[in-house]
A and B are shown apart, each in its own frame.
Chain A
Amino acid sequence: MQVDRSFIREVEERSGQRFGACFHCMACSGGCPVSDIMDYLPNQIVRMMQLGMRREVLESRAIWVCVGCYSCVSQCPNRVHIPYMMDALRELALEEGVKIGEPDIWTFHREFLKQVDKRGRVYELEFMARYKLATLSLFNDMGSGMKMLFNGRLELLPHRVKKLQEIRKIREVCYGKK
């Protein structure tokens, strides 16, 4: 069998990790608080990369479900940084335009970053509203949202950074001009 090594090398470079260090003890997967809703466990993703399963990894739900709580890194005997690996994989998935495994989570990130681009800060009310519109989940959490609003725990007016051109420039150098 011919194994494609280019994929794992690419992820190693982007994430600064050496996956040869992983001996699949599954400490990362065992301690992962969100493993229940992953389609592949963190160490399975490592194995799949070792086997060159590019499309399966990039289209997986697991890479989007990881919240970056770092419990896997704390438990890894070889300090393989799984969250950095997940960051690199999501980045690749977006660049290559593959089918996104968890579209709602991607929408969440995208709407959040739109807020940052627009004002340099996040205006939670608009962020929530836009996320809910985009995912058609308008009435979930209506009650608790209202409660937060009445308790004064949501800001009514947005704040923005004064030097917004700097934020735009940051976006430009990271994403390329549009």
Chain B
Amino acid sequence: MEKNENAPVPEGYVPHPRVYYYPGCSLMSTARDLGESLFQMARLVGSWLEELKDWNCCGASPAHSVNQNYAILLAGRNLVLAERQGIKDLFVICPSCFVRLRTAAKTLMADEDKNALLEEAVGKRYQGSVRLRFFLEVGSASQMNVFRQAVVNPLKGLKGVLYFGCLLTRPEWITGFDVLPYEDELRSFVESMGVETLDWGYGKQCCGAHLALTKPDHVDSLVDRIRDHARRVGANCMISFCPLCQVNMELRGKNSEPLPVFYVSELIGMACRLPRTEKWIRKHLVDPRKLLAEHNLL
């Protein structure tokens, strides 16, 4: 339905800043809990989340694994779409999509031939005007303070390890993050939600990614080792940034006791008591409600 442009503007209305985002295929399926908590988080700062129109899959691992041009062009189409829609900043939710889109942007700007190939397919070259950003950058320093001030239910009792996974900060010449300060920032943000964060050495160990389906036994042992270390430093939950890591961590592993794995946006949702928290909490494969009830956080 068309929006009514002439509708009366309610009193005290402040226009919402529009935030354009690239959801990626998992956001509304396997990472639905991430998606839902994210929308609540955006509502809190009054942003208006708008999806990149007609986006397509970035190609994930399979595309670059078997045909490099295909990977660049699939991701490249999204960049061209963003340019056509006049989007300056495009926020990407999944770390893997983020790396794929950034790689494509970089390659297309450096390699004329590939850009010409893209033009042949979608009728336009990529001009390089889109700024790709990871969704956690949505909060400028001041917006992050909005979250901090909105905390009414500090998550005391949660002891978490930050599990960045492979691709959140790696490779740094693609993601453009200055790794250590960025990780410190994330840690301090998680701490401001009342979660105690613990030091451990497995924050960037690979979870096995798509081998979870093709080589489940090996991924079980990878997950066991990571989770075992989390338990050993005394964690009662893990904090993940990637939809695939989250699923693997909750689903795989045989010989270690499962741990609930939260997304950062979920922590915000619980700490600020955003509406509908209980809806996404139930979607976890390792039910966190027992842990949350123990510490009176629900």
Using CB atoms, name the residue of chain B closest to A84. Answer: B68
Binds A, one of B70-78, B146-154, B231-239, B289-297: B70-78
Using CB atoms, name the residue of chain A closest to B221. Answer: A36
The residues of A that contact B32 with a CB separation of less than 8 Å are: 152-153
- Whole-angstrom CA separation of A115 from B205 in the bound complex: 29
Q: Are A88 and B67 in contact (CB under 8 A)?
A: no
- Whole-angstrom CA separation of A168 from B37 in the bound complex: 34
- Contact pick for A170, options B121, B215, B284, CB 8 Å: B121
Q: Is A147 close to B, CB under 8 A?
A: yes
Distance (whole angstroms) from the CB of B184 to the closest CB of chain A: 18
Q: Count of A-B contacts with CB under 8 A?
A: 157
- Give residues in A with beta carbon < 8 Å to B: 14, 33-34, 36-37, 65, 67-71, 73-74, 86-88, 90-91, 94, 102, 104-106, 108-110, 112-113, 115-116, 120-122, 124, 128, 131, 140-141, 144, 147-148, 151-155, 161-163, 166-167, 169-175
- Contact pick for A33, options B68, B210, B222, CB 8 Å: B222
Please report whether the interface of chain A is mostly helix, strand, loop or mixed according to DSSP: helix
Q: Is B156 close to A, CB under 8 A?
A: no
Taking A87-B64, A87-B65, A90-B65 as contacts, is the C-beta distance between A34 and B218 under 8 angstroms? yes
Using CB atoms, name the residue of chain A closest to B166. Answer: A69
Q: Are B70 and A171 in contact (CB under 8 A)?
A: yes
Q: Are B73 and A173 in contact (CB under 8 A)?
A: yes
The residues of B that contact A71 with a CB separation of less than 8 Å are: 166, 170, 204, 206
Q: Are A163 and B54 in contact (CB under 8 A)?
A: yes
The residues of A that contact B222 with a CB separation of less than 8 Å are: 33
- Give residues in B with beta carbon < 8 Å to A: 25-26, 28-33, 54-57, 59-70, 73-74, 77, 117, 120-122, 166-167, 170-171, 204-206, 208-211, 213-216, 218, 221-222, 251, 282-285
The residues of A that contact B66 with a CB separation of less than 8 Å are: 90-91, 94, 106, 109-110, 113
Using CB atoms, name the residue of chain A closest to B70. Answer: A174
Q: Are B54 and A162 in contact (CB under 8 A)?
A: yes
The residues of B that contact A162 with a CB separation of less than 8 Å are: 54
- Whole-angstrom CA separation of A104 from B212 in the bound complex: 12
